[in-house]
Amino acid sequence: MSKTVSTCLLETNQVQGKPQENVFFHSLYRTEPEFVSEFFRVARSTSPIQICAIFSTVGPDSLAAILNIELNKELAAIVEETNKQPVLDFDNFSKKVVNTLNSKVCSYIVAKGGTPLKTSMTMMVVEGDILRVIHIGNTKAVLYRDKKIMALTEEQTVAHRYVQMGAIKPEEEKNHPEKDTLTQYLGKMPQDGELIPEKKVNIKLKDNDELYLMGNGISKAIPQQMRNMVICKDISTEEKAREIIIAAVNYGVKYGLSLVAMKVESTLLLPGDAVLASATADKPAPVKKDDVKDDVFAAFNEPKDDDEGNTTTFAYKGNSSVDSIVPDEPAPNKKKAILIDVAIVLGILLLFIGIGFGGSYLFMVKKGWISTVETTLPTMVQTVAEESVDIDTNAYYEEQHILYAIDVENSVKAYEKNDQTSAVIAELKVNEPVTVLGEDETGLFYYVTIDGVNGYILKPLLSEYETEITTPTTQETAQTSIPRGGEPTVPNTPPTAARTTAPAETTPTTTAPTAAPTEPAPTEPAPTEPAPVEPAPGGGEEG
């Protein structure tokens, strides 16, 4: 599992008619009483499944804002049910999320008298060290890794569709009149066509990866360079979230100021990390007024005092999928005590391991088994290592593995679909290479690409190695040839007769008179031996 720290920051929409936005932040989301103020959360999590999403709804402001809350409630129920399962079935999960939320929006539209509402959604699902993305509409998700920013989603709008088709240039999309006209959205009625989400699966996460979910104001209303400069800074995700929002506000953006920033601190979670996370989740300490620093956080969001004189910038809602909602780090003494306890446990474990190995070694020395152990132990270790190799199938195909056609007699057909009755897109000769992209769900076909065209080939017709094609040699042909008399040549013909056969086949009219004088009497004393070499002119058998 992964250890992450996430920051969520939403500013209130100040422009009527622009999309209303909300986030699903580890089962937390903005409620109606919180609309008047900034929504700010920080979460550290080591949960096996971590989910964040952003919703952006186009329509009447009040209806759109309430619809976003209803969608978050539905998603929270789905996530709670999913967390009870030992393994995430992403295919079923994604279908359930899309179908349930789309039905919710359609029902809401009908209940409000047919008022048109369209919702965009982008969701990140972190399961262990694997990232999966579900995207509908024009919200945005990016990955920041090794000083590079990679887009994880594409806008599903009419203008972007024109760019994909080559009808307009990419730089013309920003000013196109249909740049905000959605082609895919939650709230799509059956008569409007099928809802097709964009899915990205099996993205392997690395330590220090950063993930960002952006609303329309952050992704479209400010220059991309302005946002990316902040993302590339060597500061915390909390500071990056603040700086991006501040930059957008200073640029004049007053809507779509929604951002979720998640940093993967570690993809290899140690037992001590889980203890630390669970300890901080018990009682999140409130932020005291004296603890609020005069930095970029306090300058942008003045803290509010509650009835007891404490100052907080967020509320804790105790959801099970979040390990901790923390305004500050745990107390140093508490952290030190936890580390000492972990060190003691590890020390005792190592002590018992040492005693066990030492006792076993002395016993084998006493019994005289040490020589046998010394010779067989490396072999045993090698055997165990070979048997325990774990092949990463997804990485195997991500490297675009090359396989070769192995059908020597017939051409290997590549089909348009994983069905032998579908159209044939290519035919391969033996040893012709193809690039394998994966396998189909039945396990009978490879999904391949041939000269830029993707198709399916039966798995038994491809091999990792080229097929060795052998051509019969001249000697083999001579041994299996049939003479004019109809009988096969005798395989144990004496060497001398074999030497005289070659000229007989090339010049049959002159072989008979020349064969007799060229054979010395000492070499072949039997006068009847040349007869099998040259059959009678009539083609009959010799008695």
Is 459 in a helix, a strand, or coil? Answer: helix
292: number of Cβ within 10 Å: 17
pLDDT-based confidence at 320, cuts 50/70/90?
A: very low
* Tokens encoding 146: 């090794």
Q: Rounded to an integer, what is the distance from CA 305 to the centroid of its chain?
A: 46
Q: What's the pLDDT tens digit per position in 411-454?
A: 888 888 888 888 888 888 888 888 888 888 777 888 888 887 88
Say if residues 11 and 57 touch (Cβ distance below 8 Å).
no
Please state the φ and ψ torsions of residue 80, each to the nearest 5 degrees: -60, -40
pLDDT at site 102: 96
pLDDT at site 460: 81
pLDDT at site 419: 85
pLDDT at site 438: 85
DSSP 362-421: HHHHHHT-HHHHHHHHHHHHHHHHHHT----HHHHHHT-EEEEE--SSSPEEEESSSSTT
pLDDT-based confidence at 333, cuts 50/70/90?
A: low
What's the pTM?
0.54
Three-state secondary structure readout of 6-64: EEEEECCCCCCCCCEEEEEECCECCCHHHCCCCEEEEEEECCCEEEEEEEEEECCHHHH
Assess whether pLDDT exceeds 80 at residue 543.
no
Per-residue DSSP letter, 190: G
pLDDT at site 30: 94
Per-residue DSSP letter, 157: B
pLDDT-based confidence at 169, cuts 50/70/90?
A: very high
In terms of pLDDT, which residue wins out, 257 or 417?
257
pLDDT at site 437: 84
Say if residues 101 and 87 touch (Cβ distance below 8 Å).
no
User: What is the chain's Cα-based Rg?
Assistant: 38
Q: What's the pLDDT tens digit per position in 170-209?
A: 999 989 999 999 999 999 999 999 999 999 888 999 999 9
Query: Where would I find the beta strands (DSSP E) of 111-183?
Result: 118-127, 130-136, 140-145, 148-151
Mean pLDDT calculated for residue range 482-508: 44
Using CB atoms within 10 Å of the CB of residue 248, give its burial: 0 to 12 exposed, 13 to 18 middle, 19+ buried.
buried
Q: What's the pLDDT tens digit per position in 272-286?
A: 444 444 433 444 344
In terms of pLDDT, which residue wins out, 145 or 410?
145
Mean pLDDT calculated for residue range 30-34: 92
DSSP 280-308: HHHSPPPPPGGG--SSHHHHHS--EE-TT
CA torsion sign, 8 to 44 to 123 to 69? negative
